[in-house]
Amino acid sequence: MTIRRFPAALALAAVLLVSVAAVAGAGPDHPRSRPHSVIGESVRGRPIEVRRVGDPRAPLKVLVVGSIHGDETQGHRVVRRLRGRYGERIRGADFWTITTVNPDGVAAGERRNAHGVDLNRNFSHGFDPTLSGGYNSGPHPFSEPESRAVKRLTKRVRFDLAVWYHQPWGETLVPCDSSSRYARRYARVSRLKPSRECDVYAPGSAISWQRHRFGTVAFVVELPGGRLHGGEVRRHARATVAVARMLK
């Protein structure tokens, strides 16, 4: 058995790329044994890591981000679930999983990054420079190393589907465009009630940039506050795979 190689066209050669040795004890084809790549660094120099599960040769590209706000970390457990044995069974889709794009915020238990910027207001689509406080958008679009790392990865991989986890609303946010049926499917499988996202004011968000710039089916899952139980984590992992299947 050999470790699957990434297709050359998708290699992140031009991006800061560091392969890390396999995790001891896992078999060579186990997702946990696959190398992860560092796609960038936070303000404080913490690595932002991506790990692929599923079928790296599949044309269907899926991004799953456990958190962008550092105090909303339950999505990390969904990412862990996808990277575990469950992820081994994913067929026909290439999942790129990121635990957090805001490692400084997670370390500090804080929504924003170490510059005090809300990374989910720092993307260019609909960027609003007047936002401050918890929604501080930063001095200009992509002013932060973390949002630039997402930008580089997205431009290279051109994801078909992107699921971003937040807390604590306890809702699957259904976009008002053609991707609504995918979010509704997610809501059904995860049993996290759907709510229309059209009215949510989120200028400069990651999903709006991915949708408008690349046509990605991108939506937010607002997990409930507090700690999810194991059954919920499993349902959310299953829901991402169910939505990916719709796109095949």
- Summarize as ranges the residues that interact with Zn ion (CB under 5 A): 69, 72, 166
In angstroms, what is the minimal distance from the CB of 100 to Zn ion?
11
In angstroms, what is the minimal distance from the CB of 126 to Zn ion?
17
Smaller CB distance to Zn ion: residue 115 or 166?
A: 166
In angstroms, what is the minimal distance from the CB of 71 to Zn ion?
8
Helix (H, G, I), strand (E, B) or coil at 94: strand
Smaller CB distance to Zn ion: residue 70 or 145?
A: 70
The candidate with the shortest Cα–Cα distance to 222, out of 64, 72, 111, 63, is 72
d(CA 202, CA 15): 28
In angstroms, what is the minimal distance from the CB of 157 to Zn ion?
23
d(CA 76, CA 68): 10
Smaller CB distance to Zn ion: residue 53 or 207?
A: 207
Strand partners, 49: 38
Smaller CB distance to Zn ion: residue 72 or 197?
A: 72
In angstroms, what is the minimal distance from the CB of 199 to Zn ion?
17
Smaller CB distance to Zn ion: residue 38 or 202?
A: 202
Q: Among all residues, whose Cβ is closest to Zn ion?
A: 166
d(CA 182, CA 21): 36
Give Rg (Cα) of the chain. Answer: 17
Whether 237 contacts 81, CB under 8 Å: yes
d(CA 233, CA 6): 28
d(CA 100, CA 80): 11
